[in-house]
Structure formats: structure tokens, C-alpha cells
Amino acid sequence: MHQSAELAGFAAGLRVDAAPAAVVTKLRTNLLHNLGMLRAGALTGISSAGLAAALPYDGPSAATLLHDGTRTHRDRAVVANAAMMHASARDDTYLPAIAHLAVTSLPALLAVGETLDSSGADLMAALLASYEVGAAVGVDVGPACAARGFRPSSVLGGIAAAAGVARLLGLDAGRTASAIGLAAAFGGGTGQTWLAGTDEWQYQVGVAGRNGLLAAELAASGAIAAPDSLEGAAGLYPALTGSRTPHAAAAALGTRWRVLDVTYKPYPICAINQMPVTVVVAMGTHFGYSGDQVDAVRVLLPPSEAAYPGTDRRGPFASANGALMSAPFCLAAGILHGTVTRGMLEAVDDVAVTTLARRIEVVADPDLTPGRCRIVVHADGTEHDSDTLPTPPGFDWTFAEVHRRLADAADQRGLSDDALQRLVDCIAELEHRRVRDLVTAIVRE
């Protein structure tokens, strides 16, 4: 059986009431986190171009801009809502694929679900399909994409969105396979944005979601994709990895739930830099040195993360877009300030941070797994190794923890306390609600 058919058979038959309880809880947590990030992102102004392009429209194919309730054309809503969800750089991540699968899928699913008046249960099943299919393809393809200069979220996001929208539309396995195949043919997007410090990254995710939505609707209308769209001689796998050999991820669908490996971000920086900043801040506290005593730092990362565009850059940076990708810049800010904030990222000419960043080296270590790191700090003549400290926990927060973090960040979330509680309540019982109820809960103040 072709890979797209295997993926489609799984996605088309997904039911949220048949998924393990831990998976359903994780879906709720992801929904709350990402919708909270959308409202927070609307406050940044980063996605203003996407909002400006979303002209008011209230026809039959309209959808809602989720920060203020404005109605616009559905495709523009997908791009603008994804841009807001991505703007704070804290939407969730599937790190083994170096990809953001929610921001590329959820805005498209909400737009379609709102138009169709879909059930909350179907939305959850569709979102689960997006995560699982995107992750199954991405676990091998994602790192290969990055190595060749493609952005994994752009390549994989359309496939994830297509699988989810196909499930929401109720397509059978055959048409779902075509949706996945069409999305694979439509995918693209480079990582040059990180090296130039420009704005493409902000809109790539929504464009991927829009393309996935289009792929599913074309398949629903009868468009047929190559059955070997992934592993064929000129398919996605050989184009991006150089090999036609299908990987085994599809075989584990329904038993190995990859959505459980999705993580969140405490800092407004690239997912690759979350653990290194967390570790280096803990090292300063544990070993007792100050930032001005640090002479040099070596940060060891998994090869796919060390090689990701922008990770090893020391600057100079034209904007925060480049700084948030840079491990040297983010670690320097963490060492000197004990945290990393948006304001620090925007201060790209901060002399203390940029001077220290030039003394921080990124090294690939093949023994490290995704999301892990090792850091060696030379401070005041002494070498300190993070391997001597307990391994810090990952960023797999509970629903209650995500709720608490949003509640504690009242000035950054764009939601009143009452509005946040209504959103929490709606997500908690989403199987018994409609997508339009969720849209109302996101927008309503």
C-alpha cells in the first residue's frame, strides 16, 4: 500500500471518542495553549500585514478573525489567524520534525468548521489527524527539509492541514489520500527568512494551512493525486531526502501517538533554543557565577538542530526575527538576564548581549536526541558542565499548567479573566459543543 493511502486510512477513520484519554487531554491542552497564543500574538503588532490584507467580507465563504470577530474571506482568515498564533513564537512544536503542526492546521480547521457548523468532536478528530499525519511524515522528512534549506513547517504543514480538513469534510480514505498527495505537491517554503531576519516566517504557516485546505477541497471535488506522491521517484521523500525508502512512521499510527510528544515554549524564541536557555539559566543559579564572569560557552545540540538555519548565527541581526533563532544571542540574553523576553530580542544592538554572543559556539553532537542539549560554560577560569546537573524536565505542560500560565500573564494574553475562563470551559467540554461555540469563546470579551 502506498504511504498516502496508509495515512489516509488512519485519518479518515479517526474518532476522538476512540482515542486514549491521554491523547484527548493533550488535544485540549494544545487547543488552549495555541488559542491563548493567538490572542497574545494579536497584541504584538507583528502580524499587522496579515490583518491588513484580511479585508472585511461576510459572504458565504467568510470566516472570523479570532482576535476581534471581524468577518473576512476564509482564506485570508486562515493566513491572518495563523500569523497571530505564530507571532509570539510560542505556539506548540513537534521537535522531532522541527515543525509547527498546530499553527499550520488549526486556523484552517476552525475556518472550515465554522462555515460548516461542525461539531467539536469532529474538530478534535480532525486536529488529531493533522498532528499524527504531519508528524508521521515529518519525523524523517523534517530534518532533511531543514538541511536542504526548506522550512519543515511549510513543507509538512500543508500535508497536516489537508489530512485534518479532509477528516472534517468527511472524505473517504481514497479522497483523503488525494488530499494528502495534492498537499505534498503544493508544499514549499525556505528558511532564508531566519538568515535575513525578515517576515516570511510569520506568514508561511498560514499559507501552508491555506494550501492544505485547498488540497482537501480539490480532492472533495474529484481531483486525483499521484498515489505514490510521497515515495515515488519524483515524490516528496526522494526530493527532500534523496531516498525513496518509506519510513516506518505510518505503520505505528494509532499505537504510537506522536501528539503526546508535542511541547510548548516558556520563552518567545525558537523551539530549538528553549532547552539550552533553560539549562544555561539553571547553571548560573547552581554554580553561582555572574554573566560578566562568563568567558566562553559551548552549546552542544542534536545535528539537525545545530544545522537549522540561523541557529549558530552570532549576528549582527537586523531584527528580532533573526535573534530569536540564534542560540548564541538567546543564551547570551539568558546568561545576563536570567530570562529572554521580546524586548531583549528587539534590542539587537545591546552591546553586552552581542559581545557575549560572539563567545558562544554551537556544536553538533550526534549522541543527543531532539530537544536535548549539553552546555559547557567557562566562567572566571573554571569550566562548568551541564552534565553534572539533573536533566531538566521538558515542556509538556498539563492543561492546568497552561491555564495557570495564561492566567498569570494577564497583560500579555489579550483575554480578560472571564473570557479566559469561558474559553477553558468550552474546550473542557468541546465534544459536546460546536465549532461556532469555540469561535465565540475565543472572540468574546
- What does the pLDDT read at residue 247? 66
More confident residue, 222 or 240: 222
241 pLDDT more than 90: no
Q: CA-to-CA distance for 56 and 278, rounded, in angstroms?
A: 42
Q: CA-to-CA distance for 318 and 138, rounded, in angstroms?
A: 31
CATH architecture for residues 271-388: 2-Layer Sandwich (3.30)
The answer to whether the beta carbons of residues 264 and 319 sit under 8 Å apart is no
pLDDT tens-digit map of 337-367: 999 999 999 999 999 999 999 999 999 999 9
Q: CA-to-CA distance for 423 and 32, rounded, in angstroms?
A: 8
CATH number of 3-265+413-443: 1.10.4100.10
Q: CA-to-CA distance for 156 and 400, rounded, in angstroms?
A: 30
Spell out the domain ranges in the chain. Answer: 3-265+413-443, 271-388
249 pLDDT more than 70: no
Q: What is the DSSP string of 181-223?
A: HHHHHH---BSHHHHHT-SHHHHHHHHHHHHHHHHHHHHHTT-
Order of all β-strands in the sheet with 360-364: 360-364, 294-301, 374-379, 382-385
- For residue 20, give the amino acid letter: P
C-alpha 408 chain-centroid distance: 22
Q: Where are the beta strands (DSSP E) in 279-437?
A: 294-301, 360-364, 374-379, 382-385
Tell me what the mean pLDDT of segment 300-327 comes to. 95
Cell numbers found for residue 224: 486525483
260 pLDDT more than 80: yes
- What does the pLDDT read at residue 98? 95
Highest mean pLDDT among 236-250, 406-420, 422-436: 422-436
Mapped onto helix, strand or coil, the DSSP state of residue 234 is coil
- What does the pLDDT read at residue 307? 94
Highest mean pLDDT among 140-144, 168-172, 285-289: 168-172
445 pLDDT more than 80: no
